[in-house]
Amino acid sequence: MADSVKQTVQWFPGHMAKTRRLIKESLKQVDAVTMILDARIPESSKNPEIDSLTRDKPKIILFNKADLADSRATRQWIEYYEARGSAALEVDCRSGNGLNKFRPLVRDVLKDKIRQNEEKGMPGKALRIMVVGIPNTGKSSFINRMGAGSKAKVEDRAGVTKNNQWFVIGGGIEMLDTPGVLWPKFEDPEVGDKLAFTGGIKDQILDTETLAVRFLAVMRDNYPEKLAERYKITGFADKEPYEILEMIGRKRGMLISGGEIDTMRASVAVLDEYRGGKLGRITLEWVKNDI
C-alpha cells in the first residue's frame, strides 16, 4: 500500500482485533449477513477476513455503485458469488435502484428460518441482518435508503455490543451497521491504488499525479475507447501513461507559464471525472476464471 494510504487509513492491530471481536459477538444476534462491495472494485473493496469471520451465516452480496460499474462485469460477479452459494444483487444506493429486490431476497434466503419461527409460534419474529463493508462502500446510504429516511434505533443490547444500533427497515427486517471498522487488504499496493482511484481513500496532493498516471495505464489497457471518447485523443495505445496525461492536458488547454502542460491540473481532472462517472461505467476488477 502506498505511504499516503497508510498515513490516511492507519488501521492498527488493536482496532482490527476489536472489530473482529465485535463482529463475532454481534453475529450471534443475526440471521444473515449483507456484504456491501463497490461494484467497480469487488476484490479491493472486500475485507480479507470477512468470509472466514461470517462463514456460518447466509450471505447476501450487494454490488453497490453499480451505476458507475461496467454492467457486464457486475453480472459476472453476481454469477460468481451465486455459484458459491451467496445471494447477490446489483444496487445503486444513491438513487435506490435495485433496492426493491432486497427484502424479497432476504425472505427467500431466510425461508427456512421464517418457517422455523412460524413453527415455534413466533410468525412475526424479526429477521436480523448485519451489514458489513469497508469504509465508503455505501453502508450508511444503504441503511438510510432502506429505511426511507425514517431511521429507527430499536434497542441497545447488553454486553460487548451495547453500542450496536439496530434499524427497522420494514418487511419484518432489522439491520445492524458494521460493528467496528473493517479494513481492506492493505498490504497489497494494487488494492491501495484502486481504493484511491475510486475515492475510497483520499489521495494526498503529492500523490495525485502518480495516481493519475497509474490510472491512465489501466485505462489505456482496458478501456481505450472511453479515454478516446472523453478526451478526444487518438494514437495512444503504445504511449507511456505520462504522455497520455500530457495529451489530455494539451487537449484541455491546461497550460502553465512557458506553455508547459499543467499535468497536475490534468491529473485532478482525470481522477475527478472518473470518480464522478464521467468517463463512463468502468470496472477495474473482473472475475478471473471462467465459472
Ligand X SMILES: Nc1nc2c(ncn2[C@@H]2O[C@H](COP(=O)(O)OP(=O)(O)OP(=O)(O)O)[C@@H](O)[C@H]2O)c(=O)[nH]1
Comparison of 128 and 139: residue with beta carbon closer to Mg ion: 139
What minimum distance in Å lies between the beta carbon of 175 and Mg ion? 13
Comparison of 139 and 281: residue with beta carbon closer to Mg ion: 139
Closest C-alpha to 62, from 145, 167, 138: 138
Q: How many chain residues interact with ligand X (CB under 6 A)?
A: 15
Site string for ligand X, 119-138 (x = CB under 6 A): --------------x-xxxx
Q: Do 65 and 153 contact (CB within 8 A), yes or no? A: no
Ordered DSSP codes for 189-202: HHHHHHHHHHTSSP
Comparison of 198 and 263: residue with beta carbon closer to ligand X: 198
Amino acid letter, residue 214: R
Taking the C-alpha atoms of residue 271 and residue 214, their distance in angstroms, rounded to an integer, is 11
Q: How many chain residues interact with Mg ion (CB under 5 A)?
A: 2
Q: Which of 8, 141, 165, 204 binds ligand X (CB under 6 A)?
A: 141
9 binds ligand X (CB under 6 A): no
Q: Do 233 and 227 contact (CB within 8 A), yes or no? A: yes
Amino acid letter, residue 57: K
Point out which span in 139-147, 161-169, 178-186, 196-204 binds Mg ion (CB under 5 A). Answer: 139-147
Q: Do 143 and 177 contact (CB within 8 A), yes or no? A: yes
Taking the C-alpha atoms of residue 126 and residue 234, their distance in angstroms, rounded to an integer, is 57
208 touches, from ligand X, Mg ion, none (C-beta below 5 to 8 Å by class): none
38-97 residues near ligand X, rule: CB under 6 A: 64-65, 67-68, 92-94
Q: Do 40 and 198 contact (CB within 8 A), yes or no? A: yes
Q: Which of 136, 140, 144, 204 binds Mg ion (CB under 5 A)?
A: 140
Amino acid letter, residue 282: I
Point out which span in 62-70, 82-90, 138-146, 240-248 binds Mg ion (CB under 5 A). Answer: 138-146
Amino acid letter, residue 268: V
What minimum distance in Å lies between the beta carbon of 246 and Mg ion? 38
- Provide the grid cell at 91: 444496487
- Which stretches of the chain bind Mg ion, using CB under 5 A? 139-140
- Which stretches of the chain bind ligand X, using CB under 6 A? 64-65, 67-68, 92-94, 133, 135-141
